[in-house]
Structure 1
Amino acid sequence: MIAQKIIKSASFGGMRTIRMFSNSSFASDEKQQTTHFGFKQVPVDSKEHLVGNVFSSVASNYDIMNDVMSLGVHRLWKDHFIKKLDVGARPGGEPLEFLDVAGGTGDIAFGLLDNALSKYSDNKSKIIVADINQDMLNEGKKRFLNTKFAYESNSRIEFLQQNGQVLDKIPDNSKDVYTIAFGIRNFTDIQAGLNAAYRVLKPGGIFACLEFSKVNNPILDSIYSNYSFTFLPLMGQLIANDRESYQYLVESIKKFPSQDKFASMIREAGFYVPGVGYENLSFGIAAIHIGVKL
């Protein structure tokens, strides 16, 4: 039912994308056993630790970080992402099982449950917030205490430390909706993460990803790149006394595959991808990708 709605409402056709950077080095080089950490090449088995250090550093300033990186627009993107999915148990229907990966601070999870409650009177669907970083999860638990969901007799939100590339604590064919927002570009092996998403979703389940992407206008891309590489690391230094983490985050955006390439990777994992597979937001600064497990 959810899958039919997503497929029917897909309106991705006609969107333009421009490949601004080579994607040849975004995946691990099995022969050399190295991968990218921003613009640096590092051993494959060290990237997870390095990324973990970045997010431990920015956990308490996560919203400020996203405000700086998106000029505050990330809040509108996330709201649109949640409304586009528009999921919730319908009257007489079974409650849904959500999984939000790399969602430690909980904003997507809270938004999904709030939409389901306010629009569909759904107070039974549950969500697991999975994140590899315990500091991010701790931040999410703090925020959870300030939500309406903290006062329910049976909590419908679970915080779980998990590697999104593996999801070994999540059973096969167990989730209705998998979401990930601004997290998948930090995976060491993005394809492995997509394969794990396919495994844990039920047939008919929805994969939905919101991620920074490639600007589809050369002039705007030049302006955005100059802003990103000059202003953002400086703001990281001034706001969080952490220039290096912000430098990595900017570089990680540039290393992420183009919209078309990422859509093809979602297909490779086994998903049906409607249309071109994505919706550009703010000229491609970010994009929403949808896949359906048939």
Structure 2
Amino acid sequence: MSTDSARSAEPTSEQEKTDFGFTQVDKSEKVAMVADVFHSVAAKYDVMNDLMSLGIHRLWKRYTIDCSGVKAGQRVLDLAGGTGDLAAKFSRIVGKTGQVVLADINHSMLMVGKEKLTNMGIVGNIDYVQANAENLPFPDNHFDLITIAFGLRNVTDKSAALASMFRVLKPGGRLLVLEFSKPTSEALSKVYDTYSFHVLPKMGQLVANDADSYRYLAESIRMHPDQETLEQMMKDVGFEQTSYHNLTGGIVALHRGFKF
């Protein structure tokens, strides 16, 4: 994956720059650059998730489901839903009278998710929408639950995305943000850094023939706000009763917030 295009156009002000991993790029270019990453990894995304996390990502997602409080007949938005792990579970919970929207900005990921869930026999109460989290194409006060798992760190304007989620959430509804975060132990942090920057890109090269994309993914984790910062960002756009729960020593955290 090349970042030459990121260097070709120099931003005119600091406000127009954002991070793409450890590199500063023009905000207008980040969406396309992230899209290139996920176009590249879509076909091997599930395999790599299992390998990278030793299958633990399934436990993180199960915990998210357990914290969702979702009921039959409700509307759920699985944002940045990728290959549909959460959407599949929610589809079964909400049943025929409910609705699940699997939304992702990346068409390749969305199509992999649609094919996967269709092959699982999950049809009828699930819709697939290509959407930018910063400007969601849904009515105000529409969803009972919104989840975004391992997607927020790739969003250019995270505050705008959180505000958009708040807008489309019903009063009484909840947001769950499952995302890589900051390890709580210095020793764990050092081991995690070694794994992320030395093992992960090699694994990406061997399995997905793409070391650069997985190097970016490791860098994007380090640039993501820590637990307290993200919780404050949620409060700033209106979420109440916010909290977070560290998983696997803070390598991942589940943030929760409500709209009242």
Fold similarity call, TM over 0.5: yes
Which position in structure 2 is the counterpart of 1:70?
53
AA in 2 matched with 1:176: D
Q: Which runs of 5+ in 1 are unaligned?
A: 1-27, 90-94
Runs ≥4 residues deviating over 4 A: none
Report if the CA contact (8 A) 2:91-2:126 is conserved.
Answer: no
Deviations 1:158-217 (A, max 9, x none): 0001001111x2111111111110001000000000000000011111111110111000
Pick aligned residue for 1:140 from 99, 110, 113 = 113
Supply the RMSD in Å over aligned alpha carbons. 1.6
Q: Distance in 1 between matches of 2:127 and 2:104?
A: 11
Deviations 1:4-63 (A, max 9, x none): xxxxxxxxxxxxxxxxxxxxxxxx996351110000011110000000000010111111
Which position in structure 1 is the counterpart of 2:90?
112
Report if the CA contact (8 A) 2:68-2:145 is conserved.
Answer: no
The sequence identity of aligned pairs, in percent, is 46
**Residue 88 of structure 1: CA displacement?**
1.0
Which position in structure 2 is the counterpart of 1:11?
none
Bigger helix share:
2
Q: Does 1:228 align with 2:196?
A: yes
Alignment of 1:54-93 (within 5 A): 54-89=37-72
In the superposition, the TM-score normalised over structure 2's length comes to 0.92
Q: Distance in 2 between matches of 1:32 and 1:189?
A: 11
Aligned length, in residue pairs: 250
**Residue 66 of structure 1: CA displacement?**
1.7
Report if the CA contact (8 A) 2:81-2:87 is conserved.
Answer: yes
Q: Distance in 2 between matches of 1:224 and 1:140?
A: 29
Pick aligned residue for 1:52 from 31, 35, 46 = 35
Which position in structure 2 is the counterpart of 1:4?
none
Which position in structure 2 is the counterpart of 1:284?
250
Q: Does 1:101 align with 2:79?
A: yes
Alignment of 1:21-60 (within 5 A): 31-60=14-43
Deviations 1:239-274 (A, max 9, x none): 111010000000000000000000000001100034
Report if the CA contact (8 A) 2:75-2:143 is conserved.
Answer: yes
Query: Larger relative contact order (C-alpha < 8 A, sep ≥ 6)?
Result: 1
Q: Distance in 2 between matches of 1:194 and 1:259?
A: 15
Shift of the 29–140 alpha-carbon distance from structure 1 to 2, 3 Å rule, reads farther
Report if the CA contact (8 A) 1:214-1:286 is conserved.
Answer: yes
Report if the CA contact (8 A) 1:37-1:248 is conserved.
Answer: yes
AA in 1 matched with 2:30: K
AA in 2 matched with 1:293: K
Which position in structure 2 is the counterpart of 1:165?
134
Q: Distance in 2 between matches of 1:76 and 1:29?
A: 44
